[in-house]
Amino acid sequence: MHLALRGYLLIALIALLGIAGTWSEEPAFAGAWLWPSFLLLSGLAAEAWYLRGTQVRLRMEVTERLKLGCATAGAYAFQHNRGREQVLQYARVLPASMRQFPEVRSVTLPPEEETFEQAELVPLRLGAGRFGDVPARLLGRFHLAWWSRRLPQDAPFRVAPDSLPRGARPVAGESAGETPRRLPGAGMELLQLREYVSGDALSRIDWKATARRGSLISREYSEAQHLELLLVIDAGRASRVRAGALDRLGLYANVAARLAEHAVSVEDRVGLLVYAERPLVACAPDRGLRAVTRLRHALETLESERGESNPVAAALTVRKLLRHRGLVVWLTDLAEPERNQHLLQALQALVPRHQPVVAAPRAAEIARLAAKPAVDWRDPSIALAAREHAHRARAQIANLNRRGVVVLDEPDDQLDKAVLDAYLLLRRRRKV
């Protein structure tokens, strides 16, 4: 319980009357302070009794599925059981996996009506969670005090990787629902007939076989242009490092989910491997909606491991998952030279049979420190260390390039576009 403005005014009046009664010779002032004291105490007792029967219900309303790093419209919904307005103050407390709002809001709750307070929800971590209790306080019936409450709620939520904007066409000139574009040297040969899978191009449906079978049948062609793509995600200790608003594991998950949607739209086969000290998730390459659904479900449950990553063990798993020559997009960090030596050994096990692409986010803070003018006495040494870090990273990237590995060293917010551009370029030039 905390006194409100009216309560503090009564306290000040009691103090003034007490001082006046002590110093004044008028007998009327001697007990004058008792009347506001009685008024304050009886008012507080009445407020406490009244609020014992006041129930305030809270629920969190979310308009759509939560996606990692994306702002989603939500609302706190309040409702109470009294026949008069209630004044409520509450703290916008959200789970630790979401961006916090360090503010206290005040809202007037009308009787017999649900009140909505809009809030922007920005998830920063993958996986499932629950909205917790919200600390609040109600203004008493006579506006003498604020009475503390804890509004319970236990609404579940699940954070999924981000996806492509609705209606986006990722590759110009190619569409999964229209006649495929013929490319020079891209011969097509019927491989087999199979059951229709959601996401197959309409042009691939064999209508005669469908009529005979009574269910949709698709043609599967062997065409060199259709790739096998394997997304490899490093979930070791380094994936806990911040990458903008998210951690690096969240950034990797978003990049992988979007690239997978691009790839299946042109009928490429997509798989996933997540590793730390050992392989954690392994999904063999598949095509269509089934591949994207399985990949996104696997990404939703990802968590960073505390141990160091073992890229060599991951490379052995890659060779088992990819039956034919394929494109391996390896999402990891290139900050530590010792760990890069193990990564180089792993990539050498893949080249030349497969085409690896290493996508590593570059911390924008390092570049900022390297170019920062000296103001403090420590700034020159910090700038030199940052420049040395950048020089060492460039040398390691050049070493990987000489071994036939494509390296994308881009800022956090540009890594997604760089990975997609590299995928499209390699596909167009038939490097895989």
Instruction: Tell me how far apart the alpha carbons of residues 141 and 46 are, in angstroms, rounded to a whole number.
Output: 8
Residue 60 has pLDDT above 70, yes or no: yes
Q: Which residues contact 405 (CB under 8 A, 6 or more apart)?
A: 347, 351, 356, 357, 358
Phi, psi of 267, rounded to the nearest 5 degrees: 65, 30
If one looks up domain 227-428 in CATH, what number appears?
3.40.50.410
- Section 48-75 average pLDDT: 89
5: left (phi over 0), alpha (psi -120 to 50) or beta: alpha
pLDDT grade for 31, boundaries at 50, 70 and 90? confident
pLDDT tens for each residue of 235-249 = 998 888 888 788 899
CA-wise closest residue to 199 among 111, 267, 103: 267
pLDDT tens for each residue of 97-156 = 898 888 899 999 998 889 999 998 999 988 888 898 999 999 999 999 999 999 998 888
Instruction: Tell me how far apart the alpha carbons of residues 221 and 188 are, in angstroms, rounded to a whole number.
Output: 6
> What is the CATH class of 56-160?
mainly beta
- Predicted confidence at residue 147, as pLDDT, reads 93
pLDDT tens for each residue of 274-299 = 999 999 999 999 988 889 999 999 99
User: Any idea of the CA torsion for 294, 298, 299, 305, to the nearest 10 degrees?
Assistant: -160
pLDDT grade for 168, boundaries at 50, 70 and 90? low
Query: What are the CA-CA distances from residue 187 to residues 165, 172, 217, 263, 397 (Å)?
Result: 33, 21, 22, 20, 36
| CATH 3.40.50.410 boundaries in the chain | 227-428
Under a CB-based contact definition with an 8 Å cutoff, are residues 195 and 331 in contact? no
Instruction: Tell me how far apart the alpha carbons of residues 343 and 272 are, in angstroms, rounded to a whole number.
Output: 18
CA-wise closest residue to 355 among 385, 392, 320, 318: 318
Element (H, E) at 89: strand 86-91
Pairing mode, strands 355-362 and 115-121: unpaired
pTM: predicted TM-score of the whole model, two decimal places: 0.75
Instruction: Tell me how far apart the alpha carbons of residues 372 and 382 are, in angstroms, rounded to a whole number.
Output: 9
- Section 297-325 average pLDDT: 90
Percent pLDDT > 90 in the chain is 38
Instruction: Tell me how far apart the alpha carbons of residues 157 and 127 are, in angstroms, rounded to a whole number.
Output: 9
Q: Token pair for residue 142? A: 């006579």
pLDDT tens for each residue of 63-105 = 778 999 888 989 999 999 988 899 999 998 888 889 888 889 9
- Predicted confidence at residue 334, as pLDDT, reads 82
| CATH 2.60.40.10 boundaries in the chain | 56-160
Neighbour count for residue 211 (Cβ, 10 Å) = 9
CA-wise closest residue to 150 among 165, 136, 139, 138: 136
